[in-house]
Amino acid sequence: MQNYEKFREYTEKGYLCTMNCTSDLRREALALLKKFYGYQAFRPGQFEIIEAVAAGNDVVVLMPTGGGKSLCYQLPAMMKEGCAVVVSPLIALMEDQTSALVANGIPAAAIHSNRDEAANREIIEAAYRGRIKLLYVSPERLLADLDTWVSHLPVSLFAIDEAHCISQWGHDFRPVYTQLSVLKQRFPSVPVMALTATADRLTRDDIITQLGMENPLRWVGSFSRPNLSLRVVQGASKKQRVATVAQMIRRYPNDSGIVYALSRKGAEDMHATLCAQGFRSVVYHAGLSADERARAQRSFTNGDVQVVCATIAFGMGIDKSNIRWVVHNNLPGNIESYYQEIGRAGRDGLPAETVLFYSYQDIIMRRHFIEESGRPLVATEKLDLMQKYAESTICRRRILLSYFGETAECDCGNCDVCLDPPSRFDGTVLAQKAGSAIIRTGQEVGIMTLTDILRGSVRAEIRQKGFDRIKTFGAGRDLPAPAWTAYIGQMIQLGLFEIAFDEANHLKVTPYGMRAIRGEIKVELSTFTPYTHTPRKQVPKEPPTPVDPVQQLFEQLKAVRKAVAAKAQVPAYVVFSDASLLDMAQKRPSSMEEFMKVSGVGERKGVRYGKRFISAIRKFEGMSASMPQGTSVKETLILHNAGVGLGEIAEIKGISVETVRSHIAQLIDEDMVTTFGNYISRTEYEDIARALASDPEGKTLREKYSFGMISLAKAIMAYHQRAK
């Protein structure tokens, strides 16, 4: 709310369109983009979506995580009269979004149950008066208040975030979302925008039907995230998984990562193990209280911890730009969830790593979950596709893109399959040994027991059932257990065997498998490669100092950002993203003018935080850390052009109000400022001007007005003389 007056002044200067001047829409949208967000150009699809909303059309936006969805509704909200209502499912997500908007100088607020109702009412009143451009609210609250304050609000746009929640075909169905169809009935002339990062064609169609959209623009952005490396590991032990996570933390000591687990216990165990090794970790799952979850998320977003160990309850809407890795300790239930979760890494476009650990035990657990769900057929089909992705021996990115209806013409070169293509061999004899053992046990064993039989294990259960006396007992002693587990998995994938989930997960030989056992067909398998990780003793405790100067400066700027964020009491990514820091390290701006050209540096944040970063860069370059002469006046001009008022300019710059007035007087003398209402009232100006007419030195004024006010009036008088 405190941003409204400055935002309004900017509007009145004519920089901001009211969505009627279509021919100048792009120019004016670009002006907003640069001023408030610090970007010079739109990403693919963003302007087309803004243009559709300007014409009053409904829109469905499907863009990957980090693809710029939020800007698609934030810019139209700023450009249209009234207030945009953003429907968001999580309080933490609302708070993150509004904090980032306010930091950029955009009037935004959220109403929710964690805020006192008196404060909520104050926000609603401000929205009535047009002092808020974006109002975030949960679907439950919006529907509950539809007949009260919502019906009187001057709504410019409804933006439905995480819109896949409305569809029963989606991976995160929430029944309350289906009631949002009432919005088009109650507000037929207000455009509705539905946004999601993960929705297949069926889900997209269902979103349109459920919301009652009228011939909407459908924008499906590219799902390719080439900065994410993709790796799947089958058969890794618990020790190896923990070692991989530890290695990630050491590789990115100043950044963050996420470990997703299938269960709450899995998340707790990983968290405890990492803490025991001295890493800064938090745990997050639905079994914690709301306060505990909020504290964990706050610690993660603020950079107080290196890793969060979580179930799928964590992560929706997390806008943290420096998540450099995501590890899945278990197989996700569907490709949509997997893609959304790995998409939380590398949102800034810089390289990030993803690792998926996978075992058939995950399939069994997932099947149990599906049996308890209300949509077993859909969930089973989606799990099957996820399993095929994990077991694939072709480019993984091509599989992901194909799932979302996008075609890649070549392999990605940044997944494990591309980087280390599997070799193949004739595995017919192995298939015959495994198939024969299954048959000789009466097809009443699972994968682990079959592996033990082939390896010749003499554990009690095998002896009790007499499996140690069958002909194929110990026939595979020459292979380690992880190799047999992997090869049996491939045999299942090839259709030689199947898992009877309704018979205690026992393996059954298929007719196709019988042909292999009889030697009628050849079975080709991919060579098993044992999973390895860098031993802990080979990883230095302290990462070596980067040799590349850009990387050196990049790391130093991260430290500056951390200190600035701590002082401002905001998460580090709210100050600047890693991508912006990297652009600084490459461009090395040594003045405010140069700093304002860095990608992601808007005017408000540029002046608020720029000095610290410029000083660090100048010091790195061997220059004086102090800013060039005249910089302070130029900063004042930037803030004036952004519509920031007198008192806030002084606060942001850490100077007195009198100094700001002297800056403005100087800028008026140079014809760089031509609006004066923020600094001196008409009554004050006329009073001073009359006194100066008889007393040019202004001696009689000094008891009533400050030196800065008198200087301002003199500058304005000279300006009017020049204008004549």
Q: Indicate whether 71 pLDDT > 60.
A: yes
Per-residue pLDDT band at 65 (split at 50, 70, 90): confident
Looking at 96-105, 166-175, 317-326, which range is the least confident one?
166-175
Q: Which residue has the tokens 């600047």?
A: 576
Q: State the average pLDDT over residues 406-429.
A: 87
Cβ pair 588, 568 in contact under 8 A: no
264, two tokens: 């709450």
Pairing assessment for the beta strands 83-87 and 228-234 based on DSSP bridges? unpaired
Q: Work out the percent of the chain whose per-residue pLDDT is above 70.
A: 91
Looking at 449-458, 580-589, 655-664, which range is the least confident one?
655-664
At 23 the pLDDT is: 54
Q: State the average pLDDT over residues 88-92.
A: 81
Per-residue pLDDT band at 546 (split at 50, 70, 90): low
Q: What is the chain's percent helix, strand, coil content, to nearest 5?
A: 50, 10, 40
Q: Indicate whether 15 pLDDT > 60.
A: no
Q: State the average pLDDT over residues 308-324.
A: 80
Q: Indicate whether 541 pLDDT > 60.
A: no
Q: Indicate whether 19 pLDDT > 50.
A: no
Per-residue pLDDT band at 644 (split at 50, 70, 90): confident
Q: State the average pLDDT over residues 535-558.
A: 67
Looking at 262-271, 461-470, 498-507, which range is the least confident one?
498-507
Running DSSP on this structure, what letter comes out for residue 682? H
At 316 the pLDDT is: 65
Tell which wins on pLDDT, 27 or 202.
27
**Highest mean pLDDT: which range of 261-275, 617-631, 640-654, 663-677:** 261-275
Averaged confidence pLDDT in the chain: 85
715, two tokens: 């500058």
Q: What is the 3-state secondary structure (H, E, C) of 507-523?
A: EEECHHHHHHHCCCCCC
What's the pLDDT tens digit per position in 125-143? 999 888 899 999 999 999 9
Q: State the average pLDDT over residues 531-536.
A: 52
At 281 the pLDDT is: 96
At 17 the pLDDT is: 41
Q: Indicate whether 534 pLDDT > 50.
A: no
Per-residue pLDDT band at 4 (split at 50, 70, 90): low
Q: State the average pLDDT over residues 374-379.
A: 69
Q: Indicate whether 462 pLDDT > 80.
A: yes
298, two tokens: 């706050």
- In this structure, the number of other CB atoms found within 10 A of the CB of residue 178 comes to 17
Tell which wins on pLDDT, 506 or 66.
506
Q: What is the 3-state secondary structure (H, E, C) of 525-569?
A: EECCCCCCCCCHHHCCCCCCCCCCHHHHHHHHHHHHHHHHHHHHC
At 540 the pLDDT is: 41
First to last CA, the chain: 39
270 burial (CB, 10 Å; 0-12 / 13-18 / 19+) is buried
What's the pLDDT tens digit per position in 244-277? 999 999 999 888 999 999 989 999 999 999 999 9
Per-residue pLDDT band at 108 (split at 50, 70, 90): very high
380 burial (CB, 10 Å; 0-12 / 13-18 / 19+) is middle
96, two tokens: 């993150």
Q: State the average pLDDT over residues 297-322.
A: 83
Per-residue pLDDT band at 374 (split at 50, 70, 90): low
Q: Indicate whether 85 pLDDT > 70.
A: yes
Per-residue pLDDT band at 411 (split at 50, 70, 90): confident
At 170 the pLDDT is: 61
Q: Work out the percent of the chain whose per-residue pLDDT is above 90.
A: 37
pTM comes to 0.70
Q: Indicate whether 349 pLDDT > 90.
A: no
Question: Which residues, 6 or more positions from 29, have their beta carbon under 8 angstroms from its beta carbon?
Answer: 17, 42, 47, 50, 75, 79
At 588 the pLDDT is: 94
At 2 the pLDDT is: 46
d(CA 489, CA 495) in angstroms, rounded, equals 10
- In this structure, the number of other CB atoms found within 10 A of the CB of residue 500 comes to 14
Q: Indicate whether 20 pLDDT > 70.
A: no
At 380 the pLDDT is: 82
Cβ pair 107, 7 in contact under 8 A: yes
Looking at 86-100, 366-380, 519-533, 697-711, which range is the least confident one?
366-380
